[in-house]
Amino acid sequence: MIGRYTLPDMGRVWSEAHKYELWCQVEVLVMEAHAAAGRIPADSVAPVRAAPAPTPEAVAEIEAVTQHDVIAFLSAWADRTEPRSAAAYVHFGMTSSDLLDTALALQLVESTDLLLARADTLVAALRDLGLAHRDTLRVGRTHGIHGEPTVFGHRVADLAFGLARCRDRLRAARADVAVAKISGAVGTYSNITPDVEAYVAEKLGLRPTPVATQVVLRDGVANWVAALAGLATLCEAVALEVRHGQRTEVRELSEPFGSGQKGSSAMPHKKNPIMSERIAGLARIVRAQYVPVLEGVPLWHERDISHSSTERIALPDAAAGVDYLLHLTTRLVTGLVVDTGRMRANLDATGGLVYTSAVLLELVETGLSREDAYAVTQAAAMETWQTGVPFRETLRKHAGDRGLPLDEARLDEVSRPERYTERLGPVFAALAALT
């Protein structure tokens, strides 16, 4: 991910320098396990542990010759080990994927913990926004067209629970990827014993993978990226609500607009939903990482490296992208400007057409068939659309043409917008308890 969209903590997790720090950590733990079992000299561990991780530049210089990143790392690290002879026991009995997959698990876990913290913050922000607008009347829209009255908090609650579910899927995916694999070439423990894997896993807060060939099967990693794609898409759903709400014709919502901010180089009046549009664009980038990672599940026999080049790009990009998306969406939600007056004006803009479903049911209760009641209501509604005459008046006209009496008191009641939201108490009770 480019620096523009990479926040510092997540950037460090996926930096080359941190990767080599994790590689050193894994290798030292393997040596400790071997030394405890008497397989390597006990005095070889301390010098290796004390050796600083090699710099990315040093590894890159050697890799330009070896064309093998792990060998380049081991050589560069050995150059920093005193005495250098202690480095002979580094990587003892291991294969490259033991190091790569176990260290990758640590990066995935570290990334996940950062993302879960941000997701918790966004869930709380959405919860608070929904509760603040539990009584803010607005029109509900289907197909972009006015439907029936609702409250803004209801829509926000839907997004809050959706985001919480996506967060929980990521929490479950964390367990899928938090595995250590130290079983040697093709995964048979031929040159290393299972107790080493168990020791390393425990020290790193991972669990030994129950089975692996030379690599850990990538279904868990793919599931992790799928969880990130879900979070990104929920962020986009929030942003889409704002983008629609900020349109000039709607004007119910708007992004925060800071002092000195400019909306257009040519049109000084513009206040554009740039945060929401950025969220929509980055969500596409995150979703795009899923299929390439999923295609890394089927590999040739015990392993190939067709997954490796993909993951070097897809995993840090997905993690950094979602990290930024959660951060930006939280800023959007906490700074959102809600025009409650405009919401009410839009609710009333169609002259009462938002009450047609309730009127239909009232006419059915008078004894009309549903077909006849629908015909009367629709005819009145279409005239209101065409002429702008309030729906109550066109309804009286069309009902009178058919000799149908109207109970004005009942019509007053069904045209009271609050009645459409009075049964939402359980929704907001559940929202208040959302964490």
Catalytic residue positions, numbered: 143, 264
**C-alpha separations of 63 from 59, 67, 73, 74, 306 in Å:** 6, 5, 8, 11, 19
CA dihedral 30, 35, 36, 38 (to 10 degrees): 130
Integer angstrom CA distances of residue 369 from 87, 323, 353, 366, 375: 89, 56, 21, 9, 10
Q: Give the Cα separation of 63 and 195 in Å (integer).
A: 32
> Taking Cα atoms as reference points, which of 201, 228, 232 lies closest to residue 294?
228
Share in percent of the chain as helix, strand, coil (round to 5) = 65, 5, 30
> Phi, psi (5° rounding) for residue 144?
80, 0
Tell the residue number behind the tokens 């109207």, with chain if given.
406
CB-CB contact of 75 with 62 (8 Å): yes
Bridge partners, 142 (sequence order): 145
CA atoms of 314 and 406, how far apart (whole Å): 64
Are 415 and 377 within 8 A, CB to CB? no
Residue type, position 322, single letter: V
User: Cα-flanking dihedrals φ and ψ of residue 231, to 5°?
Assistant: -60, -45
Would you give the distance in Å from CA 434 to the centre of its chain?
Answer: 17
CA nearest to 171, candidates 382, 396, 372, 435:
435
